[in-house]
Amino acid sequence: MHHEQGTLWGFLDIGIKMATFTMSKLLSLLLILQKNGEEMLLCDRKECRQRSHVQFPIKSIKKYPILLAKLPEEDDPECNSWKMYAFHDTLNAVNRTLAMNLNEGNAYAQPDKSGRGSVEVSELIPSYGHCLPELPTNRLLSLLEKLKAVHLHLLAAEHWNASHLRLCHRNYVVSATNLTHYLALKCLHLQQLQEDLSSIGLLTLEFINSHVLASIGTSIQLLHHLLSNSLESKDSATYLDRNGYSPTERSENAVNFAISTMKKRVSVHNTALFGECLDKRTGQIMVTIGKEVVKDEILVKNLLKAGTNVIRINCAHDDPNVWREIIRIVKHNSHLLEKPCRILMDLAGPKLRTVLLRTHSNMVKLSPKKDSSGNVVFPAQVWLCFDGSNPPAGLSTNAIIWIQKSFFNKLKMGDYVSFVDVRGRKRVLKVLKKSILSTEYGCIAECLQTAYIKVDTELSVKKKKGEFVGRVIKVLANQHFVRLKVGDLLTIFRSSSSYLNELSSTTLGSTKITCSSDHIFESVEQGEPILFDDGKILGKVREVNANWATVVVTHARPKGSKLGSGKSINIPKSRVQLKGLTPKDLLDLDFVGSNADMVGISFIRNVDDIVIVQHELEKRNLTKLGIVLKIETKDSLQRLPSLLFQAMQTSNPLGVMIARGDLMVECGWDQLGEIQEEILSICSAAHIPVIWATQVLESLVKFGFPTRAEITDVFKAMGASCIMLNKGDNIVQAVTALNSLLSNRSSSER
């Protein structure tokens, strides 16, 4: 048998080892899947005995949604009897829709939205008997036997993974079991079976991912009815025995997991993560905000009024002081408007990011950030220190200014340092705080106006006892960005300054930057592609050694592309492995646990990363903190089922974010459409809410008017539980538009 390679699913990683098994109970109904004209064949007991094992080809997953499943509870006396219940209300609903669709000529019958039929099956089917297709009995029998074999295959998957399912928290056992059935179903080549089922008006296998086992069971019952034209009891539910498929009385201790119950499970998981949605719409709206709201509190108020339910803060930017003020503003306005709003804080994670160099010059420009109205959103910050001291590593100020030591020693927190800049304009620096570390002795000061400071500029501080003055000795300015064109050389070097002089003589004509992690030099190889700023700039590694890597730019804008500090670096074909939480993440997690409702885990690659997160949350007793798994690497995509099974072992509310920016860079833009569908499909099977992120309504957010493609993207995003918008000048307008689209969709569905 042929076994397809390059699958996306870590199906076998979690013990779903359906590649080989020889249980005697399966031999009579085991599927032999062959690509013989897309025909799915059954083999009998004798034929199976001639095979040492059966290979199940695995195919990539598409999307699916509908029905009912049940895993026996631990206190159920029949928990070892492996029974699947096909409840009467489910049968009624499916049969009713089947008959109505047949009458209307629709080949794709789907269950009633209520999950219940209003009449009995035996009463309903005869009344539409003239509409039922006349099919040869042998064809119906063939379909029936194939469905029984599929059903047994799903039960075998559940059996093989029983030990893993027992590890799941009780909140997720049913969802994890359904995910197991779903993955087992996706192992099979079922195209011909799907076509045969749809041709007689039965539910196709493309719409059952939320209730896999019961959907198959219900189809089996319907085929039984078509063949026998009769059902057992009208008054009691029936179940399909897992050994012989014989209708029997339902156990009194069985738990009802009908369609409505399973839909409620999805709703429960959504509510646990996002809270109750009081607006008359399906789907949440999340908005990313930053330090700009500290100086513009009205922005948060307008976002909440427009329909925002969740605020996202990225811990890769700013610091706890800024985050604390943002959260205060959000909670104050949420309480004032009586509009619940949850807070998600994304940990930065081990992401590779650009770090631009500071360059010595005679002059530095200080530029505070302003909004579209010209109001200062965030002041320009500088590091003041005396000659001979070293600035701290990772300093994020706009510039570093060395001043006379005698002047520096007299500075106190809250002092105003006056000076006249290069243009002859009077400006002021306010001293915020001083460092007490001897190796980093200095202080942070801020400026509310644009200023140009050069070497030898006179500084003065006026106090009651008099005035003292000093002078600027030297300045070190930040590079705001570098501009790169096709054919340019870019050198990435280690953050250690000892290599800077060496690079100056060996990489002449090259633009130089550093990287947030030195792991890149241990993993990247010559000739590998490398991408910057979510793929806006492409290059190829020309040379690499222990201290630096030289890149040739292969794609940029015709007039050059700007590359700023803190932008992403992706090496999709590299061996680079950045695992687990960083020391910064662990510090930030303490703040997140005390102030946020959800934590976003960035750049997850394998189950070990989830285990580390769970351990850290357990240490902090954060059992109610929501966990959002950000799927943004190829490894996390391939192992998504494994990640979900591990995450479902704790009681924490769980969600998944489709981080389409990094996913596109890692996997290729031509794969993104299928990838986002596959993530939605898997999470639907696991009943886990999904956040649809990256560039949603971006043109509207930035320029005030959406593109046609963006509107279409929003309607596709409605398959997720939450849609995320990034910040921009027109963010309130974008939230208003998205809220309107979601509300209109919800109204039409009601």
Give the pLDDT mean for 301-316. Answer: 94
Looking at residue 53, its pLDDT comes to: 30
Query: Which carries the bigger pLDDT value, residue 300 or residue 504?
Result: 300
CA distance 510 to 527: 18
Residue 394: φ, ψ to 5°: 75, 20
Which residue from 251, 246, 106, 211 is spatially nearest to 685, judged by alpha carbons? 211
Residue 395: φ, ψ to 5°: -65, 135
Looking at residue 52, its pLDDT comes to: 28
Tokens for 451? 């200023």
pLDDT-based confidence at residue 44 (cuts at 50, 70, 90): very low
Looking at residue 522, its pLDDT comes to: 77
Looking at residue 358, its pLDDT comes to: 65
Looking at residue 123, its pLDDT comes to: 36
pLDDT-based confidence at residue 294 (cuts at 50, 70, 90): confident
Query: Which carries the bigger pLDDT value, residue 297 or residue 478?
Result: 297
**534-560 pLDDT, tens digit each:** 888 999 999 888 888 899 999 999 999
pLDDT-based confidence at residue 425 (cuts at 50, 70, 90): very high
Query: Which alpha helices (DSSP H) does 397-475 contain, by range?
Result: 405-410
pLDDT-based confidence at residue 621 (cuts at 50, 70, 90): very high
Token pair 């501080």 is found at 461
Which residue from 452, 448, 532, 521 is spatially nearest to 488, judged by alpha carbons? 532
CA distance 611 to 167: 13
Which residues on neighbouring strands pair with residue 658, listed in sequence order?
Answer: 631, 692
Give the pLDDT mean for 695-703. Answer: 94
SS3 355: strand
Looking at residue 189, its pLDDT comes to: 84
Tokens for 386? 């005396």
**430-451 pLDDT, tens digit each:** 998 766 544 457 888 999 999 9
Answer whether 157's CB lies under 8 Å from 16's CB.
yes
First to last CA, the chain: 48
Contacts of 619 (CB under 8 A, 6+ apart): none
SS3 275: coil
Answer whether 489's CB lies under 8 Å from 511's CB.
yes
Tokens for 655? 């969600």
pLDDT over 90 at 686, yes or no? yes
pLDDT-based confidence at residue 711 (cuts at 50, 70, 90): very high
Q: Is 374 left (phi over 0), alpha (psi -120 to 50) or beta?
A: left
**103-125 pLDDT, tens digit each:** 443 333 333 333 333 333 333 33
pLDDT over 70 at 238, yes or no? no
DSSP 671: G
Which residue from 519, 383, 488, 480 is spatially nearest to 440, judged by alpha carbons? 383
pLDDT over 90 at 461, yes or no? yes
What 3 state SS string does 574-610 have? Answer: CCCCCCCCCHHHHHHHHHHHHHCCEEEECCCCCHHHH
Query: Which carries the bigger pLDDT value, residue 306 or residue 49?
Result: 306
Looking at residue 619, its pLDDT comes to: 94
pLDDT over 90 at 255, yes or no? no
Looking at residue 235, its pLDDT comes to: 33
CA distances (Å), 646 to each of 98, 651, 652, in order? 38, 11, 12
Looking at residue 662, its pLDDT comes to: 85
CA distance 239 to 16: 25
DSSP 203: P
Q: Among 500-504, 507-511, 610-614, which is the least confidently predicted range? A: 500-504
Looking at residue 574, its pLDDT comes to: 79
pLDDT over 80 at 480, yes or no? no
Looking at residue 35, its pLDDT comes to: 32
pLDDT over 70 at 202, yes or no? yes
Query: Which alpha helices (DSSP H) does 463-532 contain, by range?
Result: 500-506, 520-523
Contacts of 185 (CB under 8 A, 6+ apart): 150, 153, 154, 205, 212
Query: Which carries the bigger pLDDT value, residue 313 or residue 435?
Result: 313
Q: Among 94-98, 303-307, 433-437, 606-610, which is the least confidently predicted range? A: 94-98
Looking at residue 40, its pLDDT comes to: 35
Helix (H) or strand (E) holding 474: strand 466-478
CA distances (Å), 505 to each of 198, 508, 526, in order? 71, 6, 21
pLDDT over 50 at 233, yes or no? no
Looking at residue 573, its pLDDT comes to: 82
Query: Which carries the bigger pLDDT value, residue 20 or residue 155?
Result: 155
**342-361 pLDDT, tens digit each:** 999 999 888 888 877 666 67
CA distances (Å), 245 to each of 13, 95, 141, 213, 540, in order? 31, 19, 14, 13, 60
Tokens for 659? 């981080």
Give the pLDDT mean for 69-92. Answer: 34
Q: What integer best gives the mean pLDDT of the chain?
A: 75
User: Could you give the percent of the chain with pLDDT greater than 70?
Assistant: 71
Give the pLDDT mean for 493-507. Answer: 52
pLDDT over 80 at 732, yes or no? yes
Q: Is 185 left (phi over 0), alpha (psi -120 to 50) or beta?
A: alpha
pLDDT over 90 at 610, yes or no? yes
pLDDT-based confidence at residue 663 (cuts at 50, 70, 90): confident
pLDDT over 90 at 655, yes or no? yes
Token pair 């076509």 is found at 195
pLDDT over 80 at 307, yes or no? yes
Q: Among 243-247, 680-684, 738-742, which is the least confidently predicted range? A: 243-247
- All structural domains of the chain: 64-261 (no CATH), 266-350+578-749 (3.20.20.60), 358-478 (2.40.33), 481-570 (2.40.33.10)
Residue 68: φ, ψ to 5°: -150, 140
pLDDT over 50 at 401, yes or no? yes
pLDDT over 60 at 4, yes or no? no
What 3 state SS string does 535-559 have? Answer: CCEEEEEEEECCCEEEEEEEECCCC
Looking at residue 379, its pLDDT comes to: 86
CA distance 689 to 675: 16
Which residues on neighbouring strands pair with residue 495, listed in sequence order?
Answer: none
